[in-house]
Amino acid sequence: MRHPLVVAAAWMTGALLSFSAMAVAVRELSANFGTFQLLAIRSLIGLLVISAILTRAGWAQVSFRNVRLHFGRNFVHFCGQFGWFYAIALIPLGAVFAIEFTVPLWTVVFAAFLLGERISATRGLAVVLGISGVLVILRPGWSVMHPAALVMLAGAFAYGLSHTLTKRLAGLDTPLCILFYMMLVQLPLGLVPAVFNWATPAAAHWPWLIVVGIAGLSAHYCMVRAFSLADASVVVPLDFLRLPLIALVGYALYSERVDEFLVLGSGLILAGNFINLYWEHKKKQPLQPARSVPHPLRLR
């Protein structure tokens, strides 16, 4: 019987490959399709998949009690998705993923305002490191910032707010219900503006479009399975491997250069995430009984 950590690592490998595949598919399609159309097709494929799953799992779990919260959550999540899809087409993949990794830090800020969670000194340091990393990557004042990087940063803000609202919904509705509303609400948000600039997909485009529609679902499913088998302190660092992996993909497929600013900025963002993760892990530790002999790490 395989160790749970080994199985969790295997599921996270599936998540990493899914995220990378979706990024490559979006890049390949972006020359022929607008961002709104890609988002609409992604939502349509996702809605069909989730509906098929609900047909077996039971539609009774799709509740109407929190419709307003679902609409609010999915509007800001759509904005985050737009930023990610738009940036993938125009700036290096490594830069997109690096900026995306600030999402947990913005979630800390939004959770403080909307959920009343306290920002400790440790969490504050994590946010400062994340912001510093973004500034290093964007290098304002030293070079011309690409507008797509700013769009991605706005998308990261939106993702942070979306994650905070998802945190509220997680205690009210099932994951399948949340995913169903996500696809249902975001489909018209993408479809209505896409109609004005619609391009009919050719046969060669459909494999990539299916990857876009399926990879997002498979990535999150793999992550859920990994979290069910291992602690966040194990799973989240594995998720951070997305950054060097996508940088390698960008270099191999699109000759994207990884400069020292991207490396330094990414390091600061990841350090902020590690600090935040450590704080969350420490909070969940049970209080230890008092001991007469001090712990070696607490001598001072």
Instruction: Using a pLDDT cut of 90, give the percent of the chain over it.
Output: 36
Q: Which of 82-91, 189-198, 203-212, 226-235 has the lowest mean pLDDT?
A: 226-235
Tell me the C-alpha distance between 23 and 152, whole Å: 14
Each residue's pLDDT tens digit, 231-275: 766 676 777 788 888 889 999 999 988 888 888 888 888 888 788
Residue 146 DSSP code: P
Tell me the C-alpha distance between 33 and 197, whole Å: 9
- Count the neighbouring beta carbons within 10 Å of the beta carbon of residue 223: 22
- Count the neighbouring beta carbons within 10 Å of the beta carbon of residue 6: 10
Residue 294: pLDDT above 90? no
> Based on C-alpha coordinates, what's the Rg of the chain?
20
Q: Which of 56-60, 127-131, 246-250, 287-291 has the lowest mean pLDDT?
A: 287-291
Tell me the C-alpha distance between 262 and 182, whole Å: 32
Are the CB atoms for 265 and 137 separated by under 8 Å? yes
Q: Residue 158 to residues 27, 107, 112, 133, 258: CA-CA distances in angstroms?
A: 21, 9, 15, 18, 26
Q: Which residues of the chain form beta strands (DSSP E)?
A: none
Each residue's pLDDT tens digit, 147-184: 888 899 999 989 888 888 887 887 788 888 888 999 99
**Amino acid, res. 168:** R
Cα of 39 vs its chain's centroid, Å: 15
Cα of 165 vs its chain's centroid, Å: 14
Tell me the C-alpha distance between 182 and 179, whole Å: 5
Crossing angle of the two packed helices 260-283 and 103-114, in degrees rounded to 10: 40
Which residues, listed in sequence order, are joined to residue 140 by a DSSP beta bridge? 143
